[in-house]
Amino acid sequence: MAKIFCLADVCMVPIGTNSASVSDFVALIEAKIRSSPLKSTLHSAGTTIEGPWDEVMSLIGEVHEYAHSKGIVRIQTDIRVGTRTDKHQTAQDKVDKVLKKMEEQK
């Protein structure tokens, strides 16, 4: 199994619900993600999950199973995964780097 550290942006969308709003679904899913020991950050278009590849992918699968167990029949998920081998970098590290560069440009 892959052990490489990754950052995964995950956006899960329930299909065929009775409402255009997904905030109830997002709250359900986010609570499940936060029950994991993996670091995660909620943002406006999904959640970034950080950790070893196999653990991150396992959590995504567990979240799907959890949502189905709560009555969501169909889920569409977009996942964007980043890895690097030259250094360890968290999601916050990436944000901080951009903010620093913006400050330097002033």
Residues 6+ positions from 6 with CB-CB distance below 8 Å: 50, 51, 52, 53, 56, 81, 82, 83
Fold of 5-104: Alpha-Beta Plaits (3.30.70)
Q: Tens digits of per-residue pLDDT, 34-90?
A: 999 999 999 999 999 999 999 999 999 999 999 999 999 999 999 999 999 999 999
Q: Which two tokens stand for residue 11?
A: 């956006």
Kindly report whether the global pTM for this prediction surpasses the value 0.85: yes
Which sign does the torsion angle of CA 26, 32, 34, 38 carry? negative
The pLDDT, as a whole number, for residue 52 is 98
